[in-house]
Amino acid sequence: MDRAVHRSARAARPLFVAGCVVLWLVPLYLLVVNALTPATEYAGKPDWTVQGFALADNIETAWEKAGIGDSFEASLLYAVVCGLVAVLVAAMAAFAVVVLPIPRPAFWFWLIYSGTLFPLQIFLAPLFGLYADANLYDTRLGLMLVYVAWAVPFAFFLIRNQMTTVPPELTEAALIDGASFTRIFWRIHLPLMRAGLGAAFIFQFTAVWNDLLLGITLSRSGDVQPVMAALTTLKASYASSGPPVILAGALVVSVPTLLLFLVFRGLFLRGITASTR
């Protein structure tokens, strides 16, 4: 009986995986097919077959005339700079909690990690009021500050988990040789944690790039607003173009995260493996 159940489970596994793949590919197929449709020939409902090859025109309309280009550049700045800063700050915090002889390391761990436990929505009203009073509303600096603060806790969690796998004897030997904690951090721990740092950066790049809630709450200008927020307003700001232009814009804004994962997938997998041991 147990063998029969086991064989049935093994036979059902490929079917389940195939079903998940189909569920993922069907929306992607519809996105691509309808992004190819000329805006003037869109019939008002999704097409399952290719009706034209106007992808370049649709992208040009979304990029230049509808203003996606400025938001794309802003999001690229936010994702790269904020991701790097957040990973560096998280690595310093993880080093302090794991390596430095600070009192109550568990308390500091939970204090920093608690930033991932609360819903982001509870911070929106206070943030909006604070940004309005501090003249940070609708500024790139304002969004960069909140993105770094938002990205640090989860990056800290990943990096701290990997840092606990570094043998403490390395730190003890370096201290005996006269190295300072600053030198130990930059010369020993960071080089040993390249995979974890890379995985944390990919996570934070993707999170910042895909952000919508903070973008529509704390910005409104085209050159400040992140690309996902600009994409949601594309229909309202350029409604005459129709869904093909919006879908073409969605296709374009999905490229950076896809390329990042494809190029660094090996580093990402090594980092995740190291962080979950």
- pLDDT 10s digits, 25-45: 887 887 787 777 777 777 667
C-beta atoms surrounding 171 within 10 Å: 20
What residue segments make up the domains of the chain, in order of their start?
2-55, 58-275
Region at 138 (left for phi over 0; alpha for psi -120 to 50; beta for the rest): left
pTM, two decimals, is 0.81
Q: Running DSSP on this structure, what letter comes out for residue 39?
A: G
Task: Report how far residue 127's alpha carbon sits from residue 134's, in angstroms, rounded to the nearest whole number.
Answer: 10
- Which residue positions in the chain have pLDDT lower than 70? 1-11, 43-44, 65-66, 234-242, 267-277
Angle at which helix 140-163 crosses helix 265-275, to 10 degrees, equals 60
Give the per-residue pLDDT at 141: 93
Distances, alpha carbon 242 to alpha carbons 35, 46, 143, 163, 180, in Å: 10, 12, 30, 50, 61
Give the per-residue pLDDT at 36: 76
Give the per-residue pLDDT at 64: 73
C-beta atoms surrounding 62 within 10 Å: 29
117 burial type by CB count under 10 A (0-12 exposed, 13-18 middle, 19+ buried): exposed
Thinking of the domain 58-275, which architecture would CATH place it in?
Orthogonal Bundle (1.10)
Is the Cβ–Cβ distance between 112 and 161 less than 8 Å?
Answer: no
pLDDT in tens, 149-182: 999 999 999 899 888 888 888 888 888 888 888 8
C-alpha 92 chain-centroid distance: 21
Task: Report how far residue 71's alpha carbon sits from residue 226's, in angstroms, rounded to the nearest whole number.
Answer: 5
Give the per-residue pLDDT at 80: 94
Whose structure tokens read 């190291």? Answer: 274
Question: For 95, phi and psi rounded to 5 degrees?
Answer: -60, -40
